[in-house]
């Protein structure tokens, strides 16, 4: 089976790399990280202009009609350049569920502004109560022509700049529904959180937040399949980002070790990075005193010492006597024991 990229996929990767390399510089990263949004709108606009945001959406909604595989190619480049943009949140977590499970009105209303770079979407999948994403503790109760949502979500990416937040919640029938929550609506409270990567996250607290019928995504009692579908693609997108991060870290490390010199020699050379084994004459005495053991002529003994690593001083030593192996010594002891028993 051929796992190589097609020419179109290679061209897509090169385009994403070129745009991100031109815009996501060290100076630009410092400028964005010093702000409060953690959102580089200039890069977002450049990707939208190249139609890379709407990559996985149908053409009738402003996209290119490609698959998650092509979206993952762009996500890998986002990770490689650590671009401060909500690509995963908007395209995979928010946009793809809307296209898959939403109606035509929802798709046109939400996806068209996303593909042009004018809107951001996200999803709130994680809760503080437990690790089972398939069983949300957040509840949705039917209240006339609206749905009332109560609960807490954590680590919601890009919620502070999102147009809508996809929120899975358990309905009164014990089923799961998908609801499009306006982050600025009454009963919605966003509290700032920060990931270890520096990305801005939000704690989403819903206290009687009202959602209209037009913002219910799909069947409100058949959302468990939608939740599984969304979580699987979100995890795949996260893996693509981490692949890019790891690949770039490896490239930077290799470049550094091939150029950096210490004591006049490259640190990437054999003496800098390899484990080594040495043989040298030494006195093998007791570990505490350093004196030769009684009855053993230390000058006639040699030791094989293997350094554990370049970063530790631990050394393993095995003493041997020329012309006498361990097996022969054990055999001699057994012979003497047998002779004593015979006597």
Which H helix or E strand runs over 185? none
Using a pLDDT cut of 70, give the percent of the chain over it.
78
| Same-domain status, 307 and 197 | no
pLDDT at 165 over 70: yes
Instruction: Answer yes or no: pTM beyond 0.85.
Output: no
In a domain, 265, yes or no: no
- Mark which of 216, 250, 284 sits at the end of a domain: 250
Residues 97, 176: Cα–Cα separation, whole Å: 14
- Chain CA centroid to CA 10, Å: 23
Give the residue from 92, 111, 113 showing the smallest Cα distance to 241. 92
- Chain CA centroid to CA 203, Å: 20
Domain total in the chain: 2
| Same-domain status, 30 and 116 | yes
**pLDDT in the model for residue 132:** 86
| Same-domain status, 86 and 167 | yes
In a domain, 331, yes or no: yes
Residue 125 binned pLDDT confidence (cut-offs 50, 70, 90): very high
In a domain, 333, yes or no: yes
pLDDT at 290 over 60: no
pLDDT at 330 over 90: no
Residues 235, 195: Cα–Cα separation, whole Å: 17
| Same-domain status, 217 and 165 | yes
Among 34-38, 115-119, 201-205, the least confident range: 34-38
CATH label of the domain that carries residue 187:
2.40.110.10
**pLDDT in the model for residue 198:** 85
List Cα–Cα distances, 73 to 7, 56, 179, 202, in angstroms.
13, 11, 29, 27
| Same-domain status, 70 and 132 | yes
Q: Kindly give, in sequence order, each residue whose CB lies less than 8 Å from that of residue 168, ignoring residues fewer than 6 positions away.
A: 123, 124, 125, 136, 138, 176, 177, 178, 179, 223, 226, 227, 230
pLDDT at 172 over 50: yes
**pLDDT in the model for residue 222:** 87
In a domain, 2, yes or no: no
What is residue 22's three-state secondary structure? helix
| Same-domain status, 109 and 223 | yes
pLDDT at 274 over 80: no
Between 303 and 27, the higher pLDDT residue:
27
Using a pLDDT cut of 90, give the percent of the chain over it.
66
Residue 265 binned pLDDT confidence (cut-offs 50, 70, 90): confident
Q: Which domain covers residue 328, as residue numbers?
A: 275-342
Mean pLDDT of the chain: 83
Residue 86 binned pLDDT confidence (cut-offs 50, 70, 90): very high
| Same-domain status, 91 and 140 | yes
In a domain, 257, yes or no: no
**pLDDT in the model for residue 226:** 95
| Same-domain status, 11 and 64 | yes
In a domain, 267, yes or no: no
Question: Which sign does the torsion angle of CA 321, 322, 325, 330 carry?
Answer: negative
| Same-domain status, 200 and 294 | no
| Same-domain status, 184 and 302 | no
- Torsion on CA atoms 120, 76, 254, 199, rounded to nearest 10: 20
| Same-domain status, 223 and 118 | yes
In a domain, 255, yes or no: no
| Same-domain status, 231 and 291 | no
**pLDDT in the model for residue 99:** 97
pLDDT at 38 over 80: yes
In a domain, 146, yes or no: yes
pLDDT at 102 over 80: yes
pLDDT at 313 over 60: no
- Mark which of 250, 284, 304 sits at the end of a domain: 250
């Amino acid at each position: 089976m051929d796992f190589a990229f097609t020419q179109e996929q290679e061209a897509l990767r090169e385009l994403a790399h070129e745009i991100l390399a031109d815009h996501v510089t060290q100076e630009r990263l410092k400028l964005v990280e010093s702000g409060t949004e953690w959102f580089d709108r200039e890069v977002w606009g450049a990707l939208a202009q190249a139609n890379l945001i709407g990559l996985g959406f149908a053409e009738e909604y402003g996209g290119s009609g490609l698959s998650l595989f092509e979206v993952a190619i762009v996500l890998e480049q986002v990770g490689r350049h650590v671009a401060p943009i909500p690509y995963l949140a908007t395209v995979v977590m928010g946009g793809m569920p809307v296209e898959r499970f939403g109606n035509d009105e929802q798709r046109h209303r939400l996806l068209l502004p996303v593909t042009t770079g004018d809107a951001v979407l996200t999803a709130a999948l994680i809760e503080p109560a437990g690790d089972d994403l398939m069983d949300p503790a957040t509840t949705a109760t039917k209240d006339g022509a609206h749905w009332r949502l109560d609960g807490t979500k954590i680590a919601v990416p890009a919620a502070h700049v999102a147009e809508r937040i996809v929120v899975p919640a358990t309905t009164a029938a014990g089923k799961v529904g998908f609801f499009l929550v306006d982050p600025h609506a009454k009963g919605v409270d966003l509290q700032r959180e920060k990931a270890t990567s520096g990305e801005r996250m939000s704690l989403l607290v819903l206290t009687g937040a009202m959602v209209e019928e037009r913002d219910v995504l799909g069947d409100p009692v058949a959302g468990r399949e939608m939740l599984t579908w969304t979580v699987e693609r979100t995890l795949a997108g996260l893996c693509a980002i981490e692949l890019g991060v790891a690949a770039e870290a490896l490239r930077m490390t290799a470049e550094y070790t091939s150029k950096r010199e210490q004591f006049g020699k490259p640190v990437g050379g054999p003496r800098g990075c390899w484990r080594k084994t040495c043989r040298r004459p030494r006195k093998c005495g007791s570990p505490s005193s350093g004196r030769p053991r009684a009855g053993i002529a230390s000058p006639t003994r040699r030791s094989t010492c293997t350094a554990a690593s370049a970063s530790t001083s631990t050394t393993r030593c095995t003493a041997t006597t020329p012309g006498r192996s361990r097996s022969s010594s054990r055999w001699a002891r057994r012979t003497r024991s047998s002779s004593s028993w015979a006597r």
